[in-house]
Structure 1
């Protein structure tokens, strides 16, 4: 007998909403039955007129499980009324009405048939996961409704999505909310710390929680961890430490469907199972018998960097919505318990919803899909979250590089062949180009391998990143040859999928079986990843420079790191220096043949620090890689001047041997400018002169390539080009080089000292030469008195003053007494203002 599920009481409302509005949003908690009961209820809707129902699921296992369950409810086999299609597997018959397909399959379907003529309803299930294909599929579906099929119904379902936002996107579609049949779930917070508040590895905390739950609860357990590594670690911790009646089953995406299905088998009487899973078990699929959930609170997601052009896996905190989804798994059939491996305080810090993939993954496939749809600007479609602009433009540029888009952002014939392949555009481009040169089958094999995770697991720390090793193993496996596994182990389940995918790709591109030349692997991958061609930085370590200008490195010496050129395919995505996991050697000869049309020859001038001069070289470059270089004597004078000026700025103008008269003119000009009374004069400070070197000095540097040659430059002419004749006259008049004192001598004015320019220029003069002068000499339009350094007959300072009148009146008498004692042969009058100035020694009696 089929049990009644909570969603069934809302079926009439859903049918009415779709019949009248053609769009609807259903929000129902896990276990409400929306995934299986809603599509079945739509089968007999009269307004569907026997058209098909498309149900989109985010994962392969969910698609198969859902189709199988619905077929069981109808007491049929899969492939009759209910069918499914996932990658590498299709069970759909001529009478199939409900097709359960993964979101990527739907993208291909709507691209092939934009009007979806035989479809009446498209259901987006578990939409809160916000996979990139679900966002893309909904955007394309909404345009199909607006342009081609106003009668097509769209139904979006989830437990924790932002229902109001989805409704608004679909012209305020009706929202149907099912409360579901909820059971009490006790939530226990277990922070990952020991008694000393030290952080403990998440696997160890989960192991403790499992042992605690074993003694405190009944029923099966579902444990959520971020990835395969943590699942395997926890498995090893528990393997020999639990009662034989407890069975452990891993569950993650790269497991074969056969191994995944083991986690769903009901436990036998007297036994319990522990399913250790990634986020794959969060939604869509129900694991019967689960009464306990242990949630690490972590997830591992791909994050694309527009700065590096690479994707790296990052471990992040789950959102509140995901945590609630996971928690709900323990309360589907009765009361349950949820152990959260974080604190109640951390719970408050969780984000409300998971960041959608469209904001964090590589957009290259999406941009190509949109181009095939006829859209170059994502703003032409409706999105819950529009694609990131920077990532979108970067994806466009890559597609232009590989010939998928033209300069007007339209899809090319080459791009159309790529989009129909169902591969990442990089790999589709590689397969097409390889087939043109007779290496199509090898490219299919490489593409199939790169669509899976690495199937080789090394027994020691030293791993071999060479992709050729993997291709050799695939070849041996495909031809039923023995694989030597002394230093590593292989995952045969993944190998089976690679062989299947390889055959499918070859069929899609109509590539016939041929012999493969494994040494062409580097050339083929270079077509897919031209930006990841890398050159060894030097011969002493394992560091490389990629074509993007970013660094990359191997953790140790291996068969790939010894080569001058490589193609680095799988890296960790570090912004400046990425760790290489998978790569292949790329011979310089093949590189030059494959990309000769992309090489550029440029003349580069550079500063030779040791020689103190400009040198030039001719370089053959590919993006940021220098392929060849040679010294040349024919130096571009313009480039040489720019480099020389840059070096002059580094050293500073003060370090150059200015002619004495020129230095004096410069100092006097700066002094007058600083008074604020001569605004017409240009600013000739070192800072401004250095900024304007290209204006006043560059025209005089023709043929000058070294600092030594600067002595040959006519600095005077260069400097005077900044001053008009009028400017020069103003300087000479208002900032003289000397002052004529009462004795008739011409004494120089000093405008600077070791500390720099002086606020008041200094006039050094013997005291006797100033007799008869009543006031301090002034310059700068009689606005600035000079600073007098009055000297003894021996040239030593006896007084510093800017007020000569005050000196004669108040200080001279005391100074005179001292000087008369030290210099008795000199004339020291009582009245200096009435005395004759002199610069000669006189008898005091004369």
Structure 2
């Protein structure tokens, strides 16, 4: 075996394990950690060595490489295990990450296992995070002799080491051969039409092919982009180049063709991120990185995942470039400029932050621990975990206290998503092909959503993708009971009770889902006229998702399947369109309304609460008296806040008891909320208010005039003649009342806060002016001695 950089640090790894039983190995791409470390442990570990790989192809390739170094094929010293495929090994077993979780759940003390290696931990997959958390707890509680190694190419090792009680960190040198990085001179132009971005990639690949003689590895975000770039390269590459696609959904034999050396010429491998780690693709000398990654992002509010295409992280770009230097000096072309590189995120987000956590929640419940009690490098988001637990309760996998049920334990043993596991446990053997279809990529190249098309193709047609699904179905069928006979719609409704859709009114095939979200079918879809469907797969749009895969369901099937979840509900709601409270009785399944009728004896309290929504829409309508009252209240410290914002925020507290007879916008216009505002004050507060901010001023005639508190000072307006005989100025506490004196024609003639001063000064000028205009009204020379009056002189006097 040729020397690799990691060989120099393996003695340090062995010493760390001997001293502490743990080690974090940081080794860049090409260092040889995957192919060297397990073999180095053979003479130092008692029992089997389990090494985790993030992907099936990487697991099998790593096992073959390890076995080859031992001079044998997998099945002797080295074996592998993954879903649906395994070859036993006596000492080393390379497994995909979910396999370790199943091993731990079955036998937490991992009998016969002496060491666990987490390879490519920098990918931060959900299974790797969970596996490390569970393994670490096993080591602390049950197996202090269990040796643990975490290996990473680009991840900052210190946080992982700290998580493992300050495990020793061993760092290897870089790749075995230098890689030259070539950037674009300037940022690539933004694509303006479909396929333009793929054209840019293809042009860069052609440039790389013409400037080199070795194999080329091209990183693209998905299978669709791979197909389009392959089409553009056809006939344009040098004659010695063979195009090899590489992505997860391909048959294994086709994946192998992309990895092994070409008999002649050189290959151009168009790959997804599957080729980033753990794979040594023979004869690769050049990497072309298109700079994009596709990630699944789960929205816990909608319960849907969607694939998004994002720029790669700098760590991913480093990992990809390293593929060019595995066996010889190489070149890495990057489809972005050096100036753009600094804007890339340092690392890709850990899967636990963006994934569907339903499986994780079930595993934690089966383990019997809260995530905060386990050594997670990143704690799962509380909202997403809560939504996952709610779904599991709906499926009967968890009880009301989020403890796992017997049904949940059976579901957890199924090698599928808990939704599908629940479906299999209920529907049984006949659901196995459906489970295989739902767990695989869509085998048909069509936008028609009907799952029945796929079911018929699986039964009647031939093709590599369908063959793999058939094999998966056979494997699943061995794990489930016979079950009840169900239609396709009933079967998938078991898995997606929150995605049963009821068609909305109108020509467009728009649906409301039982979970409350909206979705639609493409025009012309074969299911577009169905009144009820089950949406198995959606594009994840949070506003209104496109349904990509669905099955028809009858209302009778819905009733039979979910009879215990269908109930009548009284619904009182404010109708903006009708401007009134509408009271209905509705038979509902989740957000779906199966029957609807008038609720004749609706609960008055429910009507009042619905009317509050009407008030929120219509806004406050305070009468002049109510406005004056709250202006008085605002002057006194310690009184309730009666501002518009406060009143709207607390409608249920102050208004609800007062609107028992209010049901419409017209009723609200006629309603005077003064009594409701007065009820916000207790007796002592009312006494204080009347003392410090009285509602009325009593004139010398004994007439009560409302005081206006809305201005800078409390104010009254009254005819000048009504104040005759007033020799002191009226006060509100220590504040002079602002008095606006009116002419007999109700026009202001004077505003004053000093009545005695007015009589002594300005009154003479007012009298002289007013006597000519209003000769029938009294204008005495000394108003302090005159009697107040509102009367005019009789005619002729």
CA gap of 1:209–1:738, structure 2 versus 1, over 3 A, is same
1:469 aligned to which of 453, 460, 465: 453
- Please report the TM-score for the alignment, with normalisation by the length of structure 2: 0.89
CA gap of 1:735–1:67, structure 2 versus 1, over 3 A, is closer
CA drift of 1:654 comes to: 4.2
Residue 494 of structure 1: aligned partner = 465
Residue 416 of structure 2: aligned partner = 423
Q: Distance in 1 between matches of 2:388 and 2:315?
A: 31
Q: Report which stretch shifted further, 178-187 or 335-344.
A: 178-187
1:320 aligned to which of 297, 300, 314: 314
Secondary structure (helix, strand or coil) at the match of 1:740 reads: coil
CA gap of 1:563–1:807, structure 2 versus 1, over 3 A, is same
Q: Does 1:761 align with 2:728?
A: no
Residue 142 of structure 2: aligned partner = 148
Cα displacement string for residues 734-774 of structure 1 (whole angstroms, at most 9, x for unaligned residues): 55465235xxxx66636459x999831001245xx766x47
CA drift of 1:670 comes to: 5.4
Q: Does 1:33 align with 2:28?
A: no
Q: Distance in 2 between matches of 1:685 and 1:325?
A: 60
Answer yes or no: is the 8 Å Cα contact 1:827–1:843 preserved in 2.
no
Residue 489 of structure 1: aligned partner = none
Q: Distance in 1 between matches of 2:13 and 2:172?
A: 11
Cα displacement string for residues 371-394 of structure 1 (whole angstroms, at most 9, x for unaligned residues): 33x323123332222322322222
CA gap of 1:835–1:700, structure 2 versus 1, over 3 A, is closer
Residue 64 of structure 1: aligned partner = 60
Secondary structure (helix, strand or coil) at the match of 1:255 reads: coil
Answer yes or no: is the 8 Å Cα contact 2:175–2:322 preserved in 1.
no
Q: Does 1:353 align with 2:347?
A: yes
CA drift of 1:292 comes to: 1.1
CA gap of 1:810–1:228, structure 2 versus 1, over 3 A, is same
CA drift of 1:97 comes to: 2.6
CA gap of 1:621–1:784, structure 2 versus 1, over 3 A, is same
CA drift of 1:404 comes to: 1.7
Q: Distance in 2 between matches of 1:235 and 1:117?
A: 48
Answer yes or no: is the 8 Å Cα contact 2:297–2:306 preserved in 1.
yes
Cα displacement string for residues 131-164 of structure 1 (whole angstroms, at most 9, x for unaligned residues): 2222222222223323333333222223223323
CA drift of 1:398 comes to: 1.8
Residue 253 of structure 2: aligned partner = 258
Q: Does 1:407 align with 2:363?
A: no
Residue 485 of structure 1: aligned partner = none
CA gap of 1:636–1:226, structure 2 versus 1, over 3 A, is same
Answer yes or no: is the 8 Å Cα contact 1:734–1:779 preserved in 2.
no
CA gap of 1:607–1:399, structure 2 versus 1, over 3 A, is closer
Q: Distance in 1 between matches of 2:440 and 2:332?
A: 33
Q: Report which stretch shifted further, 320-329 or 708-717.
A: 708-717
Residue 203 of structure 1: aligned partner = 198
**Pairwise mapping of residues 223-234 of structure 1 onto structure 2 (< 5 A)?**
223-234=218-229
CA gap of 1:246–1:799, structure 2 versus 1, over 3 A, is same
Q: Report which stretch shifted further, 666-675 or 303-312.
A: 666-675
**Pairwise mapping of residues 483-562 of structure 1 onto structure 2 (< 5 A)?**
492-509=463-480, 511=482, 520-562=487-529
Q: Report which stretch shifted further, 798-807 or 713-722.
A: 713-722
CA drift of 1:69 comes to: 2.6
Cα displacement string for residues 152-183 of structure 1 (whole angstroms, at most 9, x for unaligned residues): 32222232233233333333333333215633
Secondary structure (helix, strand or coil) at the match of 2:445 reads: strand
Secondary structure (helix, strand or coil) at the match of 1:223 reads: strand
Cα displacement string for residues 197-247 of structure 1 (whole angstroms, at most 9, x for unaligned residues): 989944222222222222322211111111111111111111122232221
CA drift of 1:33 comes to: 2.5
Q: Report which stretch shifted further, 723-732 or 309-318.
A: 723-732
Q: Which runs of 5+ in 2 are unaligned?
A: none
Q: Distance in 1 between matches of 2:349 and 2:693?
A: 74
Q: Which protein shows a greater Rg? A: 1
RMSD in angstroms over aligned alpha carbons?
Answer: 3.8
CA drift of 1:836 comes to: 8.2
Residue 569 of structure 1: aligned partner = 536
Residue 75 of structure 1: aligned partner = 71
CA gap of 1:568–1:192, structure 2 versus 1, over 3 A, is farther
Residue 487 of structure 1: aligned partner = none
CA gap of 1:759–1:294, structure 2 versus 1, over 3 A, is same
Cα displacement string for residues 539-578 of structure 1 (whole angstroms, at most 9, x for unaligned residues): 3222211222121122324122211221111112222322
1:284 aligned to which of 278, 287, 291: 278
Q: Report which stretch shifted further, 601-610 or 691-700.
A: 691-700
Secondary structure (helix, strand or coil) at the match of 1:468 reads: helix
Answer yes or no: is the 8 Å Cα contact 2:628–2:708 preserved in 1.
no
**Pairwise mapping of residues 577-592 of structure 1 onto structure 2 (< 5 A)?**
577-592=544-559
1:452 aligned to which of 435, 440, 449: 440
Secondary structure (helix, strand or coil) at the match of 1:327 reads: helix
Answer yes or no: is the 8 Å Cα contact 1:776–1:786 preserved in 2.
no
Q: Distance in 2 between matches of 1:152 and 1:823?
A: 109
Answer yes or no: is the 8 Å Cα contact 1:189–1:342 preserved in 2.
yes
Answer yes or no: is the 8 Å Cα contact 1:542–1:557 preserved in 2.
no
Secondary structure (helix, strand or coil) at the match of 1:275 reads: strand
Q: Which runs of 5+ in 1 are unaligned?
A: 481-491, 657-662
Cα displacement string for residues 181-201 of structure 1 (whole angstroms, at most 9, x for unaligned residues): 633322111277457998994
CA drift of 1:822 comes to: 5.2
CA drift of 1:631 comes to: 0.9
Secondary structure (helix, strand or coil) at the match of 1:366 reads: helix
Q: Distance in 2 between matches of 1:175 and 1:273?
A: 38
Cα displacement string for residues 771-806 of structure 1 (whole angstroms, at most 9, x for unaligned residues): 6x47465254685345243425x6665555554545
1:380 aligned to which of 347, 370, 373: 373
CA gap of 1:559–1:825, structure 2 versus 1, over 3 A, is closer
CA drift of 1:106 comes to: 2.6
Answer yes or no: is the 8 Å Cα contact 1:669–1:681 preserved in 2.
no
Answer yes or no: is the 8 Å Cα contact 1:166–1:384 preserved in 2.
yes
Answer yes or no: is the 8 Å Cα contact 1:669–1:684 preserved in 2.
no
CA gap of 1:810–1:573, structure 2 versus 1, over 3 A, is same
CA drift of 1:400 comes to: 2.0
Q: Does 1:789 align with 2:741?
A: yes
Residue 237 of structure 2: aligned partner = 242
Residue 705 of structure 2: aligned partner = 749
Cα displacement string for residues 412-448 of structure 1 (whole angstroms, at most 9, x for unaligned residues): 221222222211111111011002xxxx22x111110
CA gap of 1:762–1:311, structure 2 versus 1, over 3 A, is same
Q: Distance in 2 between matches of 1:620 and 1:737?
A: 59
**Pairwise mapping of residues 636-715 of structure 1 onto structure 2 (< 5 A)?**
636-644=603-611, 646-647=613-614, 651=618, 654=621, 673=633
- Please report the TM-score for the alignment, with normalisation by the length of structure 1: 0.84
1:605 aligned to which of 572, 580, 604: 572
Residue 106 of structure 2: aligned partner = 112
Residue 488 of structure 1: aligned partner = none
Answer yes or no: is the 8 Å Cα contact 2:569–2:585 preserved in 1.
yes
Q: Distance in 2 between matches of 1:823 and 1:145?
A: 104
Secondary structure (helix, strand or coil) at the match of 2:478 reads: helix
CA gap of 1:433–1:760, structure 2 versus 1, over 3 A, is same
CA drift of 1:453 comes to: 0.6
Q: Distance in 2 between matches of 1:291 and 1:475?
A: 44
Answer yes or no: is the 8 Å Cα contact 1:55–1:124 preserved in 2.
yes
Q: Distance in 2 between matches of 1:541 and 1:457?
A: 24
Cα displacement string for residues 658-681 of structure 1 (whole angstroms, at most 9, x for unaligned residues): xxxxx76x67755655665xx799
Secondary structure (helix, strand or coil) at the match of 2:336 reads: coil
Q: Report which stretch shifted further, 302-311 or 689-698.
A: 689-698
Q: Distance in 2 between matches of 1:377 and 1:836?
A: 86
Q: Report how many residues are paired.
A: 793
Q: Does 1:310 align with 2:281?
A: no
Residue 88 of structure 1: aligned partner = 84
CA drift of 1:330 comes to: 1.3
CA gap of 1:818–1:410, structure 2 versus 1, over 3 A, is closer
